[in-house]
Amino acid sequence: MSSTVDTIRHEVARGGHGTLVVVFSTLPDALNRNASLELYASEALARLLDVKVARTSASLARETVLALKPALVIGIGSVVPDHVDYAAVARACRRVQAPLVYWLHDDPYEFDYNWKIEGGCDWIFTSDRATIDFYRTSAVSHLPLAADVTRHFRPIVPIRERGTDVFFCGVGYPNRRTVVSTIRDVLRACATEIRGDGWDERLPFCRNERLSPEAMIDRYAAARIVLNIGRQFNIGNRQYDLVPSTPGPRLFEAAAAGCVQAAFLESVELFDYFARDTEILAFSSVGEFADIVDHVRGDPDAATALADRAQARARAEHTYDHRMLAMLDVLQRNRLFNPAGAAARSEDKTHG
């Protein structure tokens, strides 16, 4: 057994008794640009229940499952890499009688790779609602991403006291560059900052600079308006050429930070999470975006009230605690995992 798994076993033992859940990132560490999502989910589980959570990597998932004999195994991320043996993880889970579920956060952009786990796990949670009907299995549920209660919430600074007019952080995918180019004249007239990778730095407000997750949230909280532009970048979406419907995690993170978001409208599902005009603003043309900027600058008190409502909605409905509760509810209703009865079974497997 590797020393890394020994370390995981030691940390779990220090936690005392309780149901054991293994959470692993489905991507190798070197390729995982969203490792924080697995951390947020793991911490939410530990907060919610009498659960000990052992976090591990894709390369050590099989070994960790066999060593710790958990009551539940959750894989979070993407299943694109060919050098991760997801079938071996499934075999290990069957051997120790642990339900295996996945929470995939890159549907539909990588949907064509999901054959690697379909039929080899007990349930799939997808972050995109429009993708559900295209799975071959009925054991699939929609579970959007969210905000983290300990890292994304910030005290709300009145809009009139914020120094940046418009802020955006993210990769400059072609669709995002198109939107920014379309509204560039409005952005030039504001104190605008766009950060990330792949941007045209000939635009005075663009800089190819990667921010840490904490720094990004701080910049959100210091901006009057946060742009929300979803990505359209397919890695494996040829089979059905699916169009995403569910917004990504930045929607919930920016709301938690206490922001007025101006979302480029691509799906009305957006308004299932935040109410239009009272918790979020949306645009689909240059004129609508210019109106948003004028409104926020002209009535900063109303804008602050909107940011406050958005943050309250995020706190009440859109944290990783809420998402993990929803996941556990699905698993319990389908008799895959019962937190109340799993502790004894986990102890029996460990000592048996």
Alpha-carbon dihedral angle through residues 345, 16, 26, 323, given to the nearest 10 degrees: 80
- For residue 75, the model assigns a pLDDT of 96
Distance CA 329, CA 347 (A): 23
- For residue 346, the model assigns a pLDDT of 45
In a domain, 152, yes or no: no
In a domain, 127, yes or no: yes
* 207 and 297 housed in the same domain: yes
User: How many domains are contained in the chain?
Assistant: 2
Q: What is the mean pLDDT of each run of 10 residues along the chain (352 residues)?
A: 58 60 84 77 91 91 96 93 88 97 90 84 96 93 98 98 97 96 98 97 97 97 97 68 86 98 96 98 98 98 98 98 97 90 49 47
Domain harbouring 272, CATH code: 3.40.50.2000
In a domain, 289, yes or no: yes
Long-range own/partner contacts, residues 124-132 (CB < 8 A, 24 or more apart): 125/101, 125/327, 125/330, 127/103, 127/246, 127/248, 128/242, 128/244, 128/245, 128/246, 129/245, 129/246, 129/269, 130/242, 130/243, 130/244, 130/245, 130/246, 130/267, 131/107, 131/242, 131/244
Q: The domain containing residue 272 runs over which residues?
A: 159-317
In a domain, 207, yes or no: yes
* 136 and 208 housed in the same domain: no
Domain harbouring 31, CATH code: 3.40.50.2300
In a domain, 27, yes or no: yes
- For residue 194, the model assigns a pLDDT of 98
At 211, give phi and psi (nearest 5°): -105, 145
* 187 and 263 housed in the same domain: yes
- For residue 238, the model assigns a pLDDT of 67
* 207 and 89 housed in the same domain: no
In a domain, 210, yes or no: yes
The three-class DSSP label of residue 140 is: strand
In a domain, 151, yes or no: no
* 245 and 333 housed in the same domain: no
* 173 and 33 housed in the same domain: no
* 271 and 291 housed in the same domain: yes
* 298 and 254 housed in the same domain: yes
* 305 and 168 housed in the same domain: yes
* 217 and 305 housed in the same domain: yes
Q: Which residue has the tokens 């959570």?
A: 53
* 311 and 249 housed in the same domain: yes
* 103 and 208 housed in the same domain: no
In a domain, 57, yes or no: yes
Query: How far is residue 58 from each of residues 44, 68, 119, 307, 311, measured CA to CA in Å?
Result: 20, 15, 19, 38, 34
Burial class (CB in 10 A: 0-12, 13-18, 19+), 351: exposed
